[in-house]
Amino acid sequence: MDMKVAKKLGLKERYTLMTRDLAWDTTYQPMDKVFPQTAYEGIKIHDWDKWEDPFRLTMDAYWKYQAEKERKLYAILDGFNQNNGHLSVTDARYMNVLKLFLGSTPPLELMAARGFSMMGRHMQGAGPRVACQMQAVDEYRHFQTQIHSISNYNKYYNGMDEFAHQQSRMWYLSDGKSFFDDAITAGPFEFMVAIGFAFEYVLTNILFVPFISGAAYNGDMAAMTVGFSAQSDEARHMTLGLECIKFMLEQDPDNLPIVQRWIDKWTWRGTRKLASVGMMMDYMLPKRIMSFKEAWEMYVEENGGALFKDLARYGITIPKCFGQTIEEKEHVTHQSWIGFYMKPQATPFHTWIPTPDEMDWLSEKYPNTFDKYYRPVLEYLDAQEKAGNRFDNKTAPMNCQVCVSTIKFNEPGDPMEMCFRESTYQGEKFHFCSDHCQEIFDNEPEKYIQTFISSHQVLQGNCEPDGTDVNAADFKPGQNMLDYWKLDKRALGDFNGSEDQKNFAAWREQATKN
């Protein structure tokens, strides 16, 4: 008798069995109680089965695939570390990119993991639930691998060891923290627009250029490999975000104005978050890849513009802030770097004035703005530093109530003037950096009156090291900020004269001379 061999399952069948087929409708409890977050944002979904799975990846295949990437990554990290790879980077200033990255990015990857875990619970359709669970695991993996790749540098250079403590305390990390806190406290659909779409789709390339290409250009094979290991995940994330937008828009015409408002909001919030990323490209990478302006033109204006053209058939219009971001691309990185330069005692990374060659590069890349608005002040500060009078601005800044950036951006159309906006809510004034942040506030003031603004919290006595008696007669708030932040004193100040600078030079000498 012939043996009857079962036919091997096709990819599609296998996918169905391993994802949607595992889900069921509850009967002891109504579905809307089991998934309480599905409806409250006002998004109307009529048929979850219409969700098109943008990639047909099952969990078992996912684990196999990720494990393979992991093995390759750690083999390369080991090799890099054992060969003193840190000495092969272009210049010790590069370490400061890693320090800023470590404080600002892995903690947000962790928040993304938490957010997508929640999506994996609260999305009612099985397709998006599985996709969100995978993305949650991806984000967790990115969080870990980023930290692992930088941990080797932590053995040699200052200012990296307290990034987790600093995440919710440091003034300049508040913008990223606020960005994710805002997203994760929204409902599931807004979270998907915020992170899945605006951040992962529209803006993620801008994040990758300085970190991954930046690492490659500057000899950091460790960070570069982490980036490549994340790249295939990112492609999946982008597809998921876009699918979610299309799904919402196809389900009900009432969803359009809500989705549009979220796209406007989150494209702007993401843009503000990226100001300091652009600064790394223009000022911090010893070997530049391209200017922030060029990256913005390529990735946001061209690619993003094409994307919004594609979405126009659903009635989506280009985000309101688009025009302003195009104007600002010539300014924000310079304004941000000067903002950090003036605070040598308040960041765990060093700052410096660009060399004359680097200033010429900036003039060439920013012909409309650099020489006119920014070169003179940088040269002035350089001369002051060389004369032993390095700038150290000790006052605490004013921040935007929504994006929590320090107020530093210019009035649209006038690069000389500071942009201020103000709303009053329940008798109290609130200040913003832009029309777009003001509008976000006015749409949901209840949310943003709770913003944690570090310079205000200091003045309330809420930023003190453990054991401080805030009720003592001689208590002065903010006297012990370095202890509160756990800032390593060796990591403070200008790059010139820093321990990192000296050690790197000495170790490289040892490695290359007799």
Partner 1 sequence: MSHLKTLAPYEVKSRDAVENYKGKQLLYINWERHRMFSRPFVLALPPETPFSVIVDQYMTDCFSYHPDWKQIDWNTVVWQNGNTPFTPDRNKSLKENGIGHKDLIRFRTPGLDGIAGTGY
- CA atoms of 10 and 15, how far apart (whole Å): 8
Q: List the structure tokens of 100.
A: 């800023």
* Residue 418 touching partner 1 (CB under 8 A): yes
- Tell me which of 20, 121, 187, 204 binds partner 1, using CB under 8 A: 187
* Residue 480 touching partner 1 (CB under 8 A): no
Write 181-184 long-range contacts (CB < 8 A, 24+): 181/111, 182/269, 182/447, 183/115, 183/266, 184/111, 184/114, 184/115, 184/118
| 60 CB burial (10 A radius; 0-12, 13-18, 19+) | exposed
Q: What's the closest the beta carbon of residue 40 comes to partner 1, in angstroms?
A: 5
Contact predicate 390/498, CB 8 Å: no
Residue 429 gets which letter from DSSP? Answer: E
Q: What's the closest the beta carbon of residue 493 comes to partner 1, in angstroms?
A: 17
Q: What's the closest the beta carbon of residue 358 comes to partner 1, in angstroms?
A: 18
Q: What's the closest the beta carbon of residue 428 comes to partner 1, in angstroms?
A: 6
- Tell me which of 78, 417, 483, 509 binds partner 1, using CB under 8 A: 417
- CA atoms of 441 and 431, how far apart (whole Å): 10
Q: What distance lies between CA 335 and its chain's CA centroid?
A: 18
Q: What's the closest the beta carbon of residue 328 comes to partner 1, in angstroms?
A: 15
Q: What is the CA radius of gyration of the chain?
A: 24
Q: Which stretch binds partner 1 (CB under 8 A): 117-125, 317-325, 422-430, 500-508?
A: 422-430
Backbone angles phi, psi at 39, to 5 degrees: -105, -20
* Residue 367 touching partner 1 (CB under 8 A): no
Q: What's the closest the beta carbon of residue 20 comes to partner 1, in angstroms?
A: 27
Backbone angles phi, psi at 496, to 5 degrees: -65, 120
Contact predicate 232/73, CB 8 Å: no
The nearer residue to partner 1, 136 or 378, going by C-beta atoms, is 378
Contact predicate 282/365, CB 8 Å: yes
Secondary element (H or E) of residue 334: helix 332-341
Interface of this chain with partner 1, residues 40 to 59, rule: CB under 8 A: 40-42
- Tell me which of 292, 337, 391, 484 binds partner 1, using CB under 8 A: 391
Our CA angle for 228, 229, 234, nearest 5°, is 80
The nearer residue to partner 1, 296 or 448, going by C-beta atoms, is 448
3-state secondary structure (DSSP) of residue 432: strand
The nearer residue to partner 1, 306 or 418, going by C-beta atoms, is 418
Q: What's the closest the beta carbon of residue 41 comes to partner 1, in angstroms?
A: 5
Q: How many residues does the chain have?
A: 514
Query: What residues form DSSP beta bridges with 351?
Result: 494
- Tell me which of 123, 437, 453, 487 binds partner 1, using CB under 8 A: 453
By CB under 8 A, the count of residues binding partner 1 is 57
Contact predicate 398/323, CB 8 Å: no
* Residue 29 touching partner 1 (CB under 8 A): no
Cα–Cα distances in Å, from 45 out to 1, 243, 251?
Answer: 53, 14, 6
The nearer residue to partner 1, 63 or 475, going by C-beta atoms, is 475
Q: What's the closest the beta carbon of residue 469 comes to partner 1, in angstroms?
A: 14
Q: Which stretch binds partner 1 (CB under 8 A): 38-46, 247-255, 291-299, 480-488?
A: 38-46
* Residue 380 touching partner 1 (CB under 8 A): yes
x/- contact string, 312-351, with partner 1 (CB under 8 A)?
A: -----------------------x--x---xx--------
* Residue 408 touching partner 1 (CB under 8 A): yes
Q: What's the closest the beta carbon of residue 430 comes to partner 1, in angstroms?
A: 8
| 35 CB burial (10 A radius; 0-12, 13-18, 19+) | middle
- Tell me which of 154, 363, 423, 455 binds partner 1, using CB under 8 A: 455
Q: List the structure tokens of 315.
A: 């009635």
Residue 433 gets which letter from DSSP? Answer: S
Q: Which stretch binds partner 1 (CB under 8 A): 3-11, 176-184, 288-296, 456-464?
A: 456-464
- CA atoms of 115 and 188, how far apart (whole Å): 9
- Tell me which of 256, 318, 407, 482 binds partner 1, using CB under 8 A: 407
- CA atoms of 314 and 321, how far apart (whole Å): 20
The nearer residue to partner 1, 330 or 500, going by C-beta atoms, is 330
The nearer residue to partner 1, 41 or 499, going by C-beta atoms, is 41
Q: Which amino acid is at 347?
A: T
* Residue 452 touching partner 1 (CB under 8 A): yes
* Residue 35 touching partner 1 (CB under 8 A): no
* Residue 377 touching partner 1 (CB under 8 A): yes
- CA atoms of 116 and 81, how far apart (whole Å): 32
461: left (phi over 0), alpha (psi -120 to 50) or beta: left
x/- contact string, 221-260, with partner 1 (CB under 8 A)?
A: ----------------------------------------
Interacting residues with partner 1 (CB under 8 A): 36-37, 40-42, 187, 261, 335, 338, 342-343, 372-374, 376-377, 380-381, 391, 393-398, 406-408, 410, 415-418, 420, 422, 425-426, 428-431, 443-447, 449-453, 455-457, 459-460, 477
